[in-house]
Amino acid sequence: MSKTRRALTKEEILEFKEMLEKKRDEIWQDIRNELKSRVSEEYHSLINDVNDEEDLAQIDLQEEVILGVLEARKKELEAINHALWRIEHGEYGRCLECEDWICLERLKVRPWAVYCLPCKEELERRGKI
Ligand SMILES: [Zn+2]
């Protein structure tokens, strides 16, 4: 795999933003489907409007049902929201450890990545992540 470590262009950042938002929508679609499979018909129309955790809190579902469904996807959602936050704050694409650019090829596979590959491997080796 070639390594392209450089600042991202505005267009590239926009592309990653779209990828991240699409992925987030897909996850929420999964969460809605999963919730519907667990609750009675009367809640289904309410669940259709759920797009984030705040919406979820508005529905009168049993907490363990919500938590059970959400917990499995929570890490992914947090990683995506964090990446979107970094885009907003102009920090997207930089490694949190060495502050060098995360290579483009890696971001294309994992647009929510916050470490470059060498740092990620090193942190894993040391049991930090
Ligand atoms: Zn790094």
What tens digit of pLDDT does each residue of 40-98 get?
A: 999 999 999 999 989 988 888 888 888 889 998 999 999 999 999 999 999 999 999 99
Cα(6) to ligand 1 centroid in Å equals: 13
Cα(8) to ligand 1 centroid in Å equals: 16
39: buried, middle or exposed (CB in 10 Å: 19+, 13-18, 0-12)? middle
Q: Which residues pair with 101 in a beta bridge?
A: 94
The mean pLDDT of the chain is 93
Cα(115) to ligand 1 centroid in Å equals: 5
| CA distance readout (Å), 81 to 62, 76, 107, 124, 126 | 25, 9, 15, 22, 26
Rama region for 50: left / alpha / beta (φ>0; ψ in -120 to 50; rest) = beta
Closest CA to 36 of 23, 24, 49: 49
Cα(77) to ligand 1 centroid in Å equals: 22
Average of per-residue pLDDT across 2-29: 94
Q: Where are the domains of the chain?
A: 10-93
Whole-model pTM: value is 0.88
Alpha carbon distance 35, 2 (integer Å): 42
69 touches 31 (CB < 8 A) = yes
Place 1 in a pLDDT band, splitting at 50, 70 and 90. low
